[in-house]
Amino acid sequence: MRYLVLADIHANIDALEAVLREAAATSFDHVLILGDLVGYGAEPNAVVTRVRGLGPLTAVRGNHDKVAAGVADTQDFNPMAKEAAQWTMRAVDADNRAFLASLPVGPIAVDDLIEICHGAPFDEDAYVVDSLDALKSITDATRPVCVYGHTHLPMAMALVGRDFQYLDAEAGTSLRLEPGAHYMINAGSVGQPRDGDPRAAWAVIDTATRRVEFHRTSYDVSAAQERIRLAGLPESLARRLAAGR
Ligand code: ZN
């Protein structure tokens, strides 16, 4: 099985379409959606509709999806995120809102090897950024490979026996999943990367070869910026796309 991993698309249809074009060339059987389909970007309906049409998929909700669906409030959001969330709430149509509201709380076990969550296995809204977070996550995970999002930073961490390792998650890396080891894998963000590289980040996990392939895809950033400006969303949301921050 080849899983296409898409996290934190954040209503960026230009980034999503570019990723799907490139992913089609590598082929995949099933899509894993790690939450935050919407929020920040200007095309929440286009993104949700596109994702719903992708065929077999397993998804979990993100904090921005919860707010857009009216399942949570914006209490934990900074002023910019709050403004974007309120705009998104108004923009999302009834059908897509119902889909967002139906997204399950992570973690969700996908098969015997993989589970997915937005933040962490122990808390869907927690940020996994270092070895402490990763070790706590690995303790809580029910599968050897936990794939997560939320931080918008591509990362791969492993516990091999008692040895904790930070592994390479650069574009072009093909990471081999060793039997008996435990992994925390973040494919990075499709729609709002924050590692200084503006290219859309995604991954493919091949369970037959036990490999994770990390990818980056260039897309029309200026088109996504133009949509944000036309929507009247905060200018900083447009600017950060070019910086990848
Ligand atoms: Zn996010």
Rounded to the nearest angstrom, the distance between the alpha carbon of 65 and the centre of ligand 1 is 9
> pLDDT-derived band of residue 96, with 50, 70 and 90 as boundaries?
very high
> pLDDT-derived band of residue 60, with 50, 70 and 90 as boundaries?
very high
What does the pLDDT average to over 62-90?
A: 92
Indicate whether 9 pLDDT > 90: yes
> pLDDT-derived band of residue 55, with 50, 70 and 90 as boundaries?
confident
Rounded to the nearest angstrom, the distance between the alpha carbon of 163 and the centre of ligand 1 is 30
* Model pLDDT, residue 163: 97
Rounded to the nearest angstrom, the distance between the alpha carbon of 179 and the centre of ligand 1 is 30
Indicate whether 217 pLDDT > 90: yes
Rounded to the nearest angstrom, the distance between the alpha carbon of 243 and the centre of ligand 1 is 16
Rounded to the nearest angstrom, the distance between the alpha carbon of 111 and the centre of ligand 1 is 24
Indicate whether 28 pLDDT > 90: yes
- pTM to 2 decimals? 0.97
Render pLDDT for 97-108 as a digit per residue (tens, 0 to 9).
999 999 999 999
Indicate whether 75 pLDDT > 90: no
Percent with pLDDT over 70 in the chain: 100
Quote the mean pLDDT of the chain. 97
Rounded to the nearest angstrom, the distance between the alpha carbon of 192 and the centre of ligand 1 is 8
Residues 6+ apart with CB under 8 A from 163: none
* Model pLDDT, residue 76: 85
Indicate whether 223 pLDDT > 90: yes
Render pLDDT for 166-193 as a digit per residue (tens, 0 to 9).
999 999 999 999 999 999 999 999 999 9
What does the pLDDT average to over 30-43?
A: 98
Rounded to the nearest angstrom, the distance between the alpha carbon of 188 and the centre of ligand 1 is 10
Rounded to the nearest angstrom, the distance between the alpha carbon of 27 and the centre of ligand 1 is 25
What does the pLDDT average to over 46-71?
A: 96
Residues paired with 148 in a beta bridge: 186
SS (H, E, C) the chain: CEEEEECCCCCCHHHHHHHHHHHHHHCCCEEEECCCCCCCCCCHHHHHHHHHCCCCEEECCCHHHHHHCCCCCCCCCCHHHHHHHHHHHHHCCHHHHHHHHHCCCCCEECCCCEEECCCECCECCCCCCCHHHHHHHHHHCCCCEEEECCCCCCEEEEEECCEEEEECCCCCCEEECCCCCEEEEECCCCCCCCCCCCCEEEEEEECCCCEEEEEEECCCHHHHHHHHHHHCCCHHHHHHHHHCC
The answer to whether 159 touches 181, Cβ cutoff 8 Å, is yes
> pLDDT-derived band of residue 47, with 50, 70 and 90 as boundaries?
very high
Rounded to the nearest angstrom, the distance between the alpha carbon of 10 and the centre of ligand 1 is 7
Measured distance CA(56)–CA(161) in Å, rounded? 34
Rounded to the nearest angstrom, the distance between the alpha carbon of 180 and the centre of ligand 1 is 30
Rounded to the nearest angstrom, the distance between the alpha carbon of 159 and the centre of ligand 1 is 25
Rounded to the nearest angstrom, the distance between the alpha carbon of 51 and the centre of ligand 1 is 16
Closest CA to 244 of 192, 170, 172: 192
Rounded to the nearest angstrom, the distance between the alpha carbon of 185 and the centre of ligand 1 is 15
Rounded to the nearest angstrom, the distance between the alpha carbon of 210 and the centre of ligand 1 is 27
* Model pLDDT, residue 203: 98
Indicate whether 152 pLDDT > 90: yes
What does the pLDDT average to over 196-214?
A: 98
